[in-house]
């Protein structure tokens, strides 16, 4: 899902940076307000984990790739979609500058897709499905749906951005990006996010903000 340099015209890149900037600013404010001695190590572990899972790329035609994102998981664990935006932004900057994974000029678009869309859709799907229940099985289901939907919608938006840039044909782009990430969401993103969130809530509930809803079994 990382869009490389040269795949989007510079004038479109500027627009995406302008859209992403307010969210990144608010995510920095969230970090300054919420991070303490207990959460900083968790933030580091999540960032390292997200970096690792995003490195496992599945090639997709026209030069992009499919992979897990991890933004929804981070947002749910840390209790805010801005947490996901903050973590993904940090990871994407390191990936682009130090490892050439994703472009510098396309950083705004990548933050929108993997950071903003995945975090907000994943987090608010999770909280919006609260009526399903608050036991472990219900929480796992809500996390799974939120994480899956977040990565799937982000992939579709990425395809639209590439089409607007003249890089992807629209129908084929939506089909392949959607199909690959729908499968990735089912077998990896949704499942791993659900396992991690429920496990942390059960064994390290002190790390969560707000306190977890899950009822110990």
pLDDT value of position 34: 84
User: pTM value?
Assistant: 0.89
Cite the DSSP H helix spans in 95-189.
Answer: 107-110, 118-128, 136-164, 170-184
Please tell me the number of Cα atoms within 13 Å of 66 on its side-chain side: 26
pLDDT value of position 157: 96
CATH number for 45: 1.10.1760.20
Cite the DSSP H helix spans in 7-78.
Answer: 10-34, 39-54, 71-78
Tell me if 51 is assigned to some domain: yes
Tell me if 16 is assigned to some domain: yes
pLDDT value of position 17: 98
What are the C-alpha distances in Å from 12 to residues 25, 76, 81, 107? 20, 31, 25, 12
Mean pLDDT value across the chain: 87
Tell me if 159 is assigned to some domain: yes
Tell me if 213 is assigned to some domain: no
Tell me if 139 is assigned to some domain: yes
When divided into structural domains, the chain yields a total of: 1
Parent domain of 179: 10-207
Q: How far apart are the first and last CA of the chain?
A: 38
Tell me if 33 is assigned to some domain: yes
Tell me if 78 is assigned to some domain: yes
Tell me if 1 is assigned to some domain: no
Q: Which residues of the chain have pLDDT under 70?
A: 56-66, 209-217
pLDDT value of position 62: 55
């Amino acid at each position: 899902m990382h869009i490389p340099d040269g795949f989007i015209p510079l004038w479109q890149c500027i627009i995406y940076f302008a859209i992403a900037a307010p969210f990144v600013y608010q995510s920095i404010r969230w970090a300054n307000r919420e991070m303490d001695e207990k959460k900083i190590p968790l933030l580091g572990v999540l960032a390292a984990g997200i970096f690792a899972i995003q490195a496992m790329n599945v090639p997709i035609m026209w030069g992009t790739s499919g992979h897990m994102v991890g933004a929804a998981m981070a947002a749910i664990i840390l209790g805010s979609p801005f947490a996901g935006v903050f973590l993904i932004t940090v990871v994407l900057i390191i990936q682009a500058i130090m490892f050439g994974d994703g472009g510098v000029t396309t950083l705004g678009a990548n933050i929108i897709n993997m950071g903003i869309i995945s975090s907000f859709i994943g987090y608010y799907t999770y909280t919006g499905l609260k009526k399903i229940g608050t036991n472990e099985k219900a929480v796992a289901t809500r996390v799974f749906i939120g994480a899956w939907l977040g990565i799937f919608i982000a992939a579709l938006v990425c395809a639209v951005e590439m089409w607007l840039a003249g890089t992807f044909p629209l129908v084929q782009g939506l089909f392949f990006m959607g199909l690959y990430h729908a499968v990735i969401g089912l077998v990896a993103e949704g499942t791993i996010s659900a396992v991690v969130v429920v496990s942390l809530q059960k064994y390290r509930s002190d790390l969560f903000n707000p306190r977890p809803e899950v009822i110990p079994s």
